[in-house]
Amino acid sequence: MTTPLVLIVDDESSLLEFLALLFEGEGYRVETAESMHGAREKIARGRAFDLVMCDVHMPDGSGLDLLREIKDSQPQASVIMMTAYTSTKSAIEAMRLGAYDYVSKPFDVEELKILVQKALEKTRLVEENVYLRRELEQKYTFSNIIGKSRPMQEVFALVERVARTSSTVLVEGESGTGKELIARAIHFASPRAKHKFLSINCGAMPENLLESELFGHERGAFTGALKEKKGLFHEAHRGTLFLDEIGEMTPPMQVKLLRVLQQKVVRKVGSNEEEAVDVRIIAATNRDLSEMIAAGTFREDLYYRIQVIPIRLPPLRDRREDVPLLADYFVRKYAQDMGTPPKRISPAAMAILERYRWPGNVRELENLVERALALTASDVIEPLDLPGYLRETQPTLGEEARLPPQGLDLEEYLDTLRAEMMRQALERCGGVQTRAAELLRMSFRSFRYYAKKAGVVGASNEAETDLELEAPA
Ligand SMILES: Nc1ncnc2c1ncn2[C@@H]1O[C@H](COP(=O)(O)OP(=O)(O)OP(=O)(O)O)[C@@H](O)[C@H]1O
Ligand SMILES: [Mg+2]
């Protein structure tokens, strides 16, 4: 919680003014309202109050109604009710409705201050819990990072091992390969999981802003620094700080970061004091840092500090066997989000997905599946439900498509190639010929013809074939 924000609601303007001064003096930000109406307006503006102090008897309604509304719209806020005289009935009602406490006027100022401190402390705990729960709900367990390909299995094993340490990790990979996902997985599998995981994009802001975001600043450190501010290194104490796009950091910031990593102390902008911090750093980049070092734009000493453990995420096109898994996973995930039953991706559509180059990697696949789910009316996603540019990609010819020195019998070669493709298609479709034909964009009739000719389909498949012929296409 940054500086606490307090709302005081009372129709007695002199008391309102007094309380505002009192709590501003305590270092809180204070807003006031003289009527229920005024209070509702402030709340409706959507600012999250940490504490609301409210008179029970207001000229335009009961403070208890306001309490009820606040519990609905701002559940994080602690509420203290104030009454002009001891009314046991409204006090009990206030507590029942979830007020933190109530006080009767006139009140003892010192007691009130302590009560307010305690109420704010409770808000802070609630907020922390909400934060932790929200992060945990996202369950960055390995089961939510999909990948059966060898390179991804190796990444998982590495993640598990580094999670136990506090070493600095550098995650490298093209855009959309899952760098942030991996960073979170490391944090949540580590002993630091009960503390915070915070992230910042080093390329998204000017240098001086980045510096004060990372290290904090003293009040008056520069024009506009009206209050003292904690930096992310402080906030992430005992947790993990994810420095995204580290390659975008300017050389002077690189020097400052290097100092923090070497000495494990940070100094706020405008301060002379150093404070020890215990923060695990995970950095990520989609640039080639070694190239940047050669070009003199990234410090070599910083590079060696951050890449104590390097994790390279391969582009999706180098692990195509993960495509069907990921696609199925996203279909289920988005169907659940949209509250609709999951759809099937037809083998032909899946084949297109497997063949595509995925310049935007997993993120592109995820977006595409989400879009296809929303746009497909039937319960099967077919090639036509995919964007045109995917369908246009032609298969590339491999090494085997070389004309041997002695030449070859082209027809025979094409027959072999066709038979091999049909065999693979059948295998992928669990022997169901209609699907295999679909996968190869062949009519069922010609599929059967060539299958017989090449002996691809055994006798056992004949019965199934006949049944399928009768089924509607
Ligand atoms: N292996 C995976 N399993 C499941 N989801 C994944 C996987 N990899 C990436 N994603 C999803 O793809 C999206 C992009 O991942 P993420 O943001 O981690 O990528 P990034 O490498 O940080 O990309 P950028 O460099 O563009 O910031 C996210 O929605 C993430 O959940
Ligand atoms: Mg990212």
Can you tell me whether residue 107 is helix, strand or coil?
A: coil
Q: Whose CA is nearest to atom 5 of ligand 1?
A: 145
In the reported structure, the alpha carbon of residue 150 is separated from the centroid of ligand 1 by a whole-number distance in angstroms of 18
Is 233:215 a contact under the CB 8 Å cutoff?
A: yes
Start-to-end CA span in the chain (Å): 61
Least confident stretch, 103-107, 187-191, 260-264, 283-287: 103-107
Nearest to 253 by CA among 214, 307, 198, 293: 214
For 319, which DSSP code? -
- Give whichever of 13-27, 101-115, 142-156 has the largest mean pLDDT: 13-27
Is the confidence at residue 87, as pLDDT, over 80?
no
Cβ of 4 less than 6 Å from ligand 1: no
Is 457:450 a contact under the CB 8 Å cutoff?
A: no
Average pLDDT of the segment spanning 350-368: 93
In the reported structure, the alpha carbon of residue 37 is separated from the centroid of ligand 2 by a whole-number distance in angstroms of 44
Within 313-378, residue ranges assigned H as helices are 322-338, 347-355, 361-375
Per residue, what are the HEC states of 139-173? Answer: CCCHHHCCCCCHHHHHHHHHHHHHHCCCCCEEEEE
Least confident stretch, 125-129, 236-240, 455-459: 455-459
The 10s digit of each residue's pLDDT in 124-171 is: 877 776 665 555 544 434 557 888 888 988 898 899 889 989 999 999
In the reported structure, the alpha carbon of residue 40 is separated from the centroid of ligand 2 by a whole-number distance in angstroms of 39
pLDDT at site 138: 47
Is 252:207 a contact under the CB 8 Å cutoff?
A: yes
pLDDT at site 224: 81
Mean pLDDT of the chain: 87
Token pair listed for 81 = 């009710």
Q: Whose CA is nearest to atom 28 of ligand 1?
A: 363
| DSSP state letters, 290-318 | HHHHHTTSS-HHHHHHHTSEEEEEPPGGG
Rounded to the nearest 10 degrees, the angle between the axes of helix 322-338 and helix 347-355 is 120
pLDDT > 90: what percent of the chain?
A: 52
Q: Give CA–CA dist 63/33, Å, rounded.
A: 12
Q: Measured between alpha carbons, how far is residue 375 from residues 217, 382, 384, 387 in Å?
A: 49, 11, 11, 11
In the reported structure, the alpha carbon of residue 346 is separated from the centroid of ligand 2 by a whole-number distance in angstroms of 31
pLDDT top residue among 129 and 1 = 129
Angle CA 263–266–267, to nearest 5 = 130
Write the burial class of residue 77 (CB in 10 Å: 0-12 exposed, 13-18 middle, 19+ buried). buried
Rg (CA), the chain: 32
Q: Whose CA is nearest to atom 23 of ligand 1?
A: 176
Within 138-276, residue ranges assigned H as helices are 150-163, 179-188, 207-215, 232-235, 251-263
Q: Measured between alpha carbons, how far is residue 93 from residues 43, 60, 78, 81, 106 in Å?
A: 22, 19, 16, 10, 20
pLDDT at site 46: 73
Question: Which atom of ligand 1 lies closest to the CA of 171?
Answer: 21
Question: Which atom of ligand 1 lies closest to the CA of 147?
Answer: 1
Cβ of 178 less than 6 Å from ligand 1: yes
**What does the buried/exposed string (b/e) look like for 369-383 if buried means 16 or more CB atoms within 10 Å of the residue's CB?**
bbebbeebeeeebbb
Angle CA 81–84–90, to nearest 5 = 50
Nearest to 181 by CA among 284, 256, 327: 284
Cβ of 177 less than 6 Å from ligand 1: yes
Average pLDDT of the segment spanning 221-225: 82
Is the confidence at residue 472, as pLDDT, over 70?
no
Q: Give CA–CA dist 189/181, Å, rounded.
A: 12
Is 57:86 a contact under the CB 8 Å cutoff?
A: no
In the reported structure, the alpha carbon of residue 181 is separated from the centroid of ligand 1 by a whole-number distance in angstroms of 6
Least confident stretch, 39-48, 160-169, 314-323: 39-48
Question: Which atom of ligand 1 lies closest to the CA of 174?
Answer: 25
In the reported structure, the alpha carbon of residue 178 is separated from the centroid of ligand 1 by a whole-number distance in angstroms of 3
Nearest ligand, measured from the Cα of 142? 1
> pLDDT-based confidence at 463, cuts 50/70/90?
very low
Q: Give CA–CA dist 309/159, Å, rounded.
A: 10
Q: Candidates 363, 367, 368: which one to mutate for ligand 1, based on the most atoms within 8 Å of Cβ?
A: 363
pLDDT at site 140: 39
Q: Whose CA is nearest to atom 8 of ligand 1?
A: 178
Average pLDDT of the segment spanning 69-89: 83
pLDDT at site 281: 97
Q: Whose CA is nearest to atom 4 of ligand 1?
A: 145
In the reported structure, the alpha carbon of residue 174 is separated from the centroid of ligand 1 by a whole-number distance in angstroms of 10
Least confident stretch, 165-179, 210-224, 278-292: 210-224
β-strands 274-276, 265-267 pairing: antiparallel
Residue with tokens 């409770």: 122
Token pair listed for 366 = 């995820």
Cβ of 314 less than 6 Å from ligand 1: no
Element (H, E) at 39: helix 36-44
The 10s digit of each residue's pLDDT in 417-439 is: 899 999 999 988 888 898 899 88
Nearest ligand, measured from the Cα of 200? 2
In the reported structure, the alpha carbon of residue 67 is separated from the centroid of ligand 2 by a whole-number distance in angstroms of 41
Cβ of 174 less than 6 Å from ligand 1: no
Angle CA 344–331–424, to nearest 5 = 50
Nearest to 177 by CA among 200, 154, 197, 152: 152
Number of Cβ within 10 Å of residue 73's Cβ equals 13
Q: Candidates 153, 181, 202, 312: which one to mutate for ligand 1, based on the most atoms within 8 Å of Cβ?
A: 181
Residue with tokens 């509607």: 472
pLDDT at site 201: 95
> pLDDT-based confidence at 105, cuts 50/70/90?
confident
Is 319:147 a contact under the CB 8 Å cutoff?
A: yes
pLDDT top residue among 301 and 222 = 301
Cβ of 146 less than 6 Å from ligand 1: yes
Is the confidence at residue 32, as pLDDT, over 90?
yes
pLDDT at site 211: 94
In the reported structure, the alpha carbon of residue 170 is separated from the centroid of ligand 2 by a whole-number distance in angstroms of 13
The 10s digit of each residue's pLDDT in 327-338 is: 988 998 898 888
pLDDT at site 39: 94
Can you tell me whether residue 401 is helix, strand or coil?
A: coil
pLDDT > 70: what percent of the chain?
A: 90
Cβ of 180 less than 6 Å from ligand 1: yes
In the reported structure, the alpha carbon of residue 363 is separated from the centroid of ligand 1 by a whole-number distance in angstroms of 6
